[in-house]
Amino acid sequence: MVWLRLGATLCDIGQVNLKNKEEVASFESTYAHCDSMRGTLSVGWIELPDILSLKYFEGRIDIGNALDSLGQYLTGFSQLREMKGEIDFGIFYLSENRAFENLEVADLIAIRGGNINFYKYGKHFYNFGLNKLIRTNIIFISGISYTGEMYGFENLEDIKQHFSFSDNNFSKLNGFRRLKNIGRLFAPPGSGNAKAMVFDLFYNKNLEDLSNFDSLRLYPSQISEVTIANSPKLSVCHVPFMCRYIKERTGGDFKIGGNGPGCNSLEEVKSGCLSGTDDDVHATA
């Protein structure tokens, strides 16, 4: 999916830093005619712009410590469909993200790839939104201290390179249930064209199980690293995607430990897989 088509109005904004509501309003007025945009946009402590014609953005959107009041939610970029670049969220006071509500693809040709990156505290942040997102290169979620359940990413199917979820306090992950692949977005099985992938989940002190990854499949031939570690309440790791992976893996960097009983070593997870009743759970037999 590429929204930058013949006849599109591509606006090159260069580097723009919006610091107040007046600058946001001026930006919206200046670029109201654009359906595609290229450049670097930084927005801090205010609402994001919303250009209703804008469908495609190439570059970087940096949201620094968005808004300054507790419990608020973020809006903006409501019609953006494709982001060829990075969206970087700072969410110090936010409770939920409602921006980028129609974003379907984030895909960057660069070292870090189309990256959706959530970080910075988040004591009240529980809903990531982005429920129309289908695929991206990288998701990096770290340092969110909210202790309840996490929501968002309801329709995400493919992560091209790297999933990292670390240093968070969520007790349960309610997103990612449709996530199917990490590292093989455009390559069919056996094609040899898929990217090496990383699945990292560590230092999540309240997380209890991995059952939200119901549809996920990890392909050992493409895995460079899998880490599930230092999450003391995590005791349910013998879920289908892990049992299949353990049976099929022939190498790669696999680290598991520092978790709760049942998920504290490879042997414990294997035992859980063998004692389960689901066919996929029995994949290690």
Give the predicted TM-score (pTM) of the model: 0.85
The confidence score (pLDDT) of residue 234 equals 96
The confidence score (pLDDT) of residue 114 equals 43
The confidence score (pLDDT) of residue 67 equals 54
Q: Are 264 and 258 in contact (CB under 8 A)?
A: yes
Element (H, E) at 96: strand 96-97
Tokens of residue 39, six digits: 């450049």
pLDDT digits (tens), the chain, 285 positions: 444 555 568 999 999 999 888 999 999 999 999 999 999 999 877 788 999 999 999 999 988 755 555 457 888 999 999 999 988 887 667 788 899 999 998 864 222 324 566 655 567 788 889 999 998 888 888 888 888 899 999 999 998 888 889 888 899 998 898 999 887 644 454 445 445 578 999 999 999 989 889 899 888 877 788 999 999 999 999 999 999 999 998 777 899 999 999 999 999 999 999 986 555 444 444
CA torsion angle 148 64 176 251 (round to 10): -110
CA torsion angle 66 70 72 76 (round to 10): -10
The confidence score (pLDDT) of residue 241 equals 92
The confidence score (pLDDT) of residue 121 equals 58
DSSP per-residue codes, the chain: -----TT--EEEEEEEEE-SHHHHHHHHHHTTT-SEEEEEEEEESSPPP--TT--EEEEEEEEES--SSTT-EE---TT--EEEEEEEEE-SS-SEE-SSTT--EE---SSS-SEEEEESB-TT--B---TT--EEEEEEEE-B---SEEB--TT--EEEEEEEEES---SEE-S-TT--EES-SS--TTSS-PPPEEEEEE--TT--B-TT-TT-B--GGGEEEEEEES-TT--B---HHHHHHHHH--SSEEEEESS-TTSSSHHHHHHHHHH-SSTTGGGG-
The confidence score (pLDDT) of residue 197 equals 78
The confidence score (pLDDT) of residue 112 equals 30
What is the SS3 assignment for 168? coil
